[in-house]
Amino acid sequence: MNGNIDFHIPDCNQFRNGYEAYTRERRGAVYFEALSLISENWGDPVLMAQGVQRLIRSWHRFFANFDFDSLVNCIDNNFQDLNEFRARNVVSLADADDVRIESLFNHFLDALKRTRDNAKSPVSVAKALSPLATHFFPLWDSNIAFSYNCFYLADISAPPYIRFCKKMKIMPEHVQHCVSNKDDRSLLKRIDEYNYSKYTMHWI
């Protein structure tokens, strides 16, 4: 590690072992189902919300009972920002983006709160933002966040997520050469597969 890097950077063997181990995850295909639904219906908040809902129901089922109309309204009200971030890569992330990302994150945090007790899930937010802007917004969970020193509390989670995004901005520089140029998913998705295999499931 050097400079401002305070987390583990895998070498190519470690990185490949991580995303190859991810094939053990039986629910992995759901991400691409959600991504297709969103991509094919970009601009339609209802169908985009259905894509997000499909992913959260499979990947984060304890927080799947949110108000669907609130999610639709959130996507509709923030569509301009989503459209702009969708066209960008995480390597373009700048400090000037912090305010917009924090606002967007908090809007989704509120929209995706569990209806029975209003519990909020920062993990649900990342699972929503990633397929909406797959090259810009990284996935995380509590294990991954902790491993990157981005620990969060439910109501104070946007700043830790932004710190995590900035760490994921650094990763591509070190691992992009470890993946085929003809890969079928974003590099951020590959990084998440590595993170999930290493920090969440301990497969590697």
Give the separation between CA 181 and CA 91, rounded to whole angstroms.
17
Give the separation between CA 71 and CA 64, rounded to whole angstroms.
12
Give the separation between CA 175 and CA 112, rounded to whole angstroms.
32
**Sign of the torsion formed by the C-alpha atoms of 87, 93, 95 and 101:** positive
* 174-195 mean pLDDT: 94
* Domain residue spans of the chain: 12-199
Express each pLDDT in 21-79 by its tens digit: 999 999 999 999 999 999 999 999 999 999 999 999 999 999 999 999 999 999 999 99
Express each pLDDT in 80-98 by its tens digit: 999 999 999 999 999 999 9
- The pTM score is 0.95
pLDDT given for residue 38 in this prediction: 98
